[in-house]
Amino acid sequence: MKFTGFQSIILFSVFLLLLSCSKKDSNPFQNISGEYPVLKHALENKDKYHVQILYTQIDRHEDNSPVFRQFSYGLDDEKYFYPASTVKLPIAVLALEWLESQDVRGLSKESMMVVDSVRASQISAFIDSTSFSLMPSVGHYIKKILLVSDNDAYNRLYELLGQDYINERMKEIGLANTVINHRLSLPMSAEENRHFNPIRFLDFEGELILDLPARETSNVYANKVKPAIGKAYYNSGELVNEPMDFTFKNKYALSDFHGTVMRLVFPGNFEDTERFRISEESRKFLLKYMSMLPGESDYPSYELPEYYDSYSKFFKFGRDKNPIPGQFRIFNKTGMAYGHLLDGAYFVDFENGVEFFVSAVIYVNENETLNDNQYEYDEVAFPFYEELGEYLYQLERNRVKVRKPVFDSIRMDYP
C-alpha cells in the first residue's frame, strides 16, 4: 500500500506515541537515580528550590523535519521568578526584527548606533572599545549579549526598541507570559525606565541614516499579581525586613523562554503569526552567537581564565573550566540574579546524533535574604544544571530513534 505524505506523517506520529507509551515510566523526571544526587534532591524539594523544567524530545521525519514531544516538571507560567539575563535573548531577536522592518536604505546591524541622553538618569554611548571599528552597532551589541550576557548591550537595545514594541510583539507571536519593563544593573525607577534615549544611526562616513528622538510610553507594563520574593533584602546597604517587591521587574515565563529558542531553531514548526519576522541571515547570525564560545570571538574578544568555555553553558558542563569537546554545540541563553539560575538551550552532539531542547530555573536562597550575595549557586544550582544536562544527554543517547538528524542547517563557521 502506498501512503501520501500526510498519511506518512500521521503514521510516524502514531508510532512515536506507541513507542513512548510502551515505556514503563514515560515521565523522565520521575524516579531519578542516586547517580544524580543534586538533581534528585532538587526535584524532591521543588517547592523549596522553585524548580521548573521544560524538556523537548526531537524525532525526525524522512525529510529531516522535526516532530516534538514535550515533558515538564513543576511548570507554572503564572508563578513568578526573576528571569535575570534570559530577557536579553528576545531583545536581541526583536532588535534585528525592528531593523528589518524600517526599510531605510543603508540601515543594517552593522550601522553605527550612537546613543545620546536627555535625562539625568540616562547614559550616552558614543564609542565601543571592544568593536573592530570602535563604534557601537546593533550587531555588536547582540554579540556581547549572546557571548557573555553583557548588561550594557542589553540596555542599549532596550532603549532602541522601547517597552511598547517589545511587549506588544511578544504577545503577538504567542509569547504572552512576558513583561519587559526595565534596564539591567542601573538604579532607575519604573517611571524612568519608561523613557528611552535618543538614538542616531550613521554610516561609516559619519552620514546620518536614521534619527530617533527621545521617546516615552504612557503604558505601564507591570506584574499584575504583585509578586514578592524572600523574607528580607538589602537596599543601599540597609536591611529591609520584608519581602522584595517585583511588581516592576521583568517577567519571562519558562514556556516563553523555551518557545523563543524553539522558534529560532525550527521556525518552520510554527505558524507564520507565531514567528519572529527576521531574515534567514539574521536567524543564522543569532544561532551562531548563541552557540559560539567566548574564546572563539575576535571582536569582542574574551580571554581565559575569566571567560572559559562553559562561562555561559550550564547544562552538562556546569562550571567545569576544561574545554568543551568540539562535538557539542549549545545554542542557549543563561541568567543569574537574586538567587535564580536559568538556562534555556538547544543541545546538540554532532557525533552521536543527539539533539534536544531544555529550559530550567532553580532558586537557591537558604536564608531568604536578597542582595546579600549569599546564594547557593556553587553548592546546588550549578551542580543541578550539570547533572540535569548529563541526565538528559544520557537519556537521549539511549533513546530509540527511527532516524538520526541531519545537522547541515545548523553547522556554523566560528568565528
Does residue 4 fall inside a structural domain? no
Domain extent at residue 338: 30-410
Instruction: Average the pLDDT over each of 2-11, 230-239, 271-280 and give the range with the smallest value.
Output: 2-11
Does residue 389 fall inside a structural domain? yes
What global pTM score does this model have? Answer: 0.93
- Edge-first strand listing for the sheet containing 52-60: 66-73, 52-60, 354-363, 340-349, 328-337
Query: For residue 94, how many other CB atoms are within 10 A of its CB?
Result: 23
Q: Which cell is 249 given?
A: 521587574
pLDDT the model gives residue 315:
98
pLDDT the model gives residue 413:
87
pLDDT the model gives residue 19:
46
Does residue 77 fall inside a structural domain? yes
The total of structural domains in the chain comes to 1
Tens of pLDDT, residues 292-349: 999 999 999 999 999 999 999 999 999 999 999 999 999 999 999 999 999 999 999 9
pLDDT the model gives residue 346:
98
* Mean of per-residue pLDDT scores for the chain: 94
pLDDT the model gives residue 2:
45
Does residue 76 fall inside a structural domain? yes
Does residue 8 fall inside a structural domain? no
3-class DSSP state for residue 62?
coil
Q: What is the CATH number of the domain that holds 348?
A: 3.40.710.10
Does residue 11 fall inside a structural domain? no
Dihedral sign for Cα 36, 41, 44, 48, please. Answer: negative
Does residue 18 fall inside a structural domain? no
Question: What does the chain come to in residues?
Answer: 415
pLDDT the model gives residue 26:
78
How confident is residue 415, by pLDDT bands cut at 50, 70 and 90?
A: confident
Burial 161-176 (b: 16+ CB within 10 A, else e): bbbbbbbebbeebbbe
Q: What percent of the chain has pLDDT over 70?
A: 94
pLDDT at 372 over 90: yes
3-class DSSP state for residue 327?
coil
Does residue 51 fall inside a structural domain? yes
pLDDT the model gives residue 24:
40
pLDDT the model gives residue 49:
98
